[in-house]
């Protein structure tokens, strides 16, 4: 294996300037005296409390920020309690590296040529990365963090006119025009759970990526992970503060719930005094998602029935008002997502009780009950939530509500297929 010691006096981070990802001809540089490299082969470690695997999918315009975050990780490094692993696939380089992060140094454990199927943006690569980490660095608990651009359940083909950087799933690779769809993410994580963890779930799946904190993404990964840490809003390019997040994990025992809360709190402390005041991050207990989805589906079904009454247009106007009023219902960088809790709350608050047709009275009362259960379900599922002043009402999970038409791939996600939500959207969007 190759050991690379980090020299903090370098003005440019070593991954960019010193050739950790290869010189111009693609070979590892060994001529820089500030980076002493020696061959060493470390045995598989004994079982530790945590293994954290960070997938830096940096074959895109975020690559310089990946360098910054890796530097933060080296300030902590692995310990007797923590295996800290990272994969780097960086813009402008032909190598993909898997490294063990030690304090002030990186130990290159695997190195291979970057290809379309063998680099970030590939479900195959993500599966191999997590499988490698679990097999070689056993632990009581596992956290997998996906670092990249993100757009939740939006999965267009690259040939589509809408397939911009802002409108593709996660792990976007600009070199090969690939990304991981939400359906592929589900398959990868469930395979890891079944085959590498003997049926146990990954303790934490974190998204250091924009707009992944949705009910839909939570539904996709609920069978493979216990806790999701994600934002309903954009993530600042500087990302998570990895040194602050990882420092206590390297020194003391932390449960998955406590660690997930710590991640969220660190993110809030990082940005509360910055100019970026629209931040949101939440930790969600995925064991609670089925109950939440049942309530959302029940509410959607009742809404479909009520909206089918041609005499009653007031309810439709109430829903439209709730969806458009960003002061009361936070909407995000992607205007097609709304805060689930606030959306349900505003419909509940504005229900036109005085003008209800007698024949619909029972249905409206049932809708009230269902919307209350939706709000309770969000509060029960979200372990910890932080949001900046711009999104101060955000409660941790957003939901899809497009203003004009449904993004067709949306119909393929598990939430859409297992609830009446997409049928409710069609009803709302129909003339």
How high is the mean pLDDT of the chain?
83
Check: pTM over 0.85? Answer yes or no: yes
Note whether 203 and 242 are same-domain residues: yes
Note whether 26 and 51 are same-domain residues: yes
* Structural domains in the chain (count): 2
Note whether 219 and 105 are same-domain residues: yes
Residue 19 domain boundaries: 2-276
pLDDT at 3: 60
Whether 394 is in a domain gets the answer no
pLDDT at 24: 32
For residue range 165-186, what is the model confidence (pLDDT) as tens digits? Answer: 344 577 777 677 788 888 899 9
Note whether 216 and 108 are same-domain residues: yes
Note whether 165 and 85 are same-domain residues: yes
Residues of the chain with pLDDT under 50: 7-40, 43, 157-167
* C-alpha–C-alpha distance, residues 212 and 270, integer Å: 19
**Quick one: which of 223, 194, 200 has its CA closest to 286?**
223
Whether 62 is in a domain gets the answer yes
pLDDT at 164: 42
Note whether 20 and 83 are same-domain residues: yes
Note whether 367 and 255 are same-domain residues: no
Whether 393 is in a domain gets the answer no
Note whether 253 and 325 are same-domain residues: no
Note whether 163 and 224 are same-domain residues: yes
């Amino acid at each position: 294996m190759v050991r690379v010691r980090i020299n903090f006096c370098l003005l440019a981070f070593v991954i960019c300037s010193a050739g950790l990802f290869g010189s111009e001809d693609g070979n590892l540089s060994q001529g820089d005296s500030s980076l002493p490299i020696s061959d060493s082969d470390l045995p598989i470690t004994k079982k530790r409390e945590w293994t954290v695997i960070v997938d830096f999918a940096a074959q895109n315009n975020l690559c310089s920020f990946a360098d910054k975050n890796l530097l933060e990780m080296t300030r902590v490094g692995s310990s007797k309690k923590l295996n800290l692993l990272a994969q780097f696939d960086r813009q402008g380089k032909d190598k993909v590296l898997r490294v063990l992060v030690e304090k002030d140094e990186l130990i290159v454990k695997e190195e291979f040529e970057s290809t379309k199927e063998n680099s970030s943006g590939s479900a195959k690569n993500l599966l191999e990365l997590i499988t490698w980490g679990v097999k070689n660095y056993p632990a009581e608990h596992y956290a997998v963090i996906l670092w990249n651009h993100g757009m939740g359940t939006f999965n267009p083909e690259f040939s589509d006119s809408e397939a911009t950087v802002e409108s593709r799933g996660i792990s976007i690779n600009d070199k090969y025009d690939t990304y991981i769809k939400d359906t592929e993410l589900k398959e990868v994580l469930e395979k890891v759970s079944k085959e590498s963890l003997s049926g146990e779930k990954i303790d934490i799946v974190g998204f250091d990526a924009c707009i992944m904190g949705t009910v839909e993404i939570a539904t996709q990964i609920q069978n493979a992970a216990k806790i999701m840490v994600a934002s309903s809003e954009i993530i600042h390019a500087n990302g998570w503060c990895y040194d602050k997040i990882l420092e206590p994990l390297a020194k003391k025992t932390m449960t998955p719930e406590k660690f997930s809360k710590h991640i969220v709190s660190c993110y809030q402390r990082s940005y509360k005094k910055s100019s970026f005041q629209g931040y949101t991050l939440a930790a969600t207990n995925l064991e609670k998602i089925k109950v939440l989805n049942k309530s959302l589906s029940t509410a959607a079904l009742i809404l479909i029935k009520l909206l089918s009454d041609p005499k009653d247009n007031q309810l439709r106007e109430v829903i439209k008002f709730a969806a458009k009023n960003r002061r009361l219902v936070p909407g995000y960088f992607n205007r097609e997502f709304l805060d689930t809790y606030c959306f349900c709350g505003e419909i509940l608050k504005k229900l036109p009780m005085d003008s209800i047709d007698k024949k619909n009275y029972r249905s409206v009362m049932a809708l009230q009950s269902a919307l209350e259960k939706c709000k309770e379900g969000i509060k029960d599922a979200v372990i910890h939530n932080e949001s900046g002043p711009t999104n101060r009402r955000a409660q941790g999970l957003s939901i899809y509500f497009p203003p004009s038409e449904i993004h067709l791939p949306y119909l393929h996600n598990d939430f859409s297929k297992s609830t009446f939500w997409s049928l409710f959207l069609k009803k709302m969007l129909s003339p």
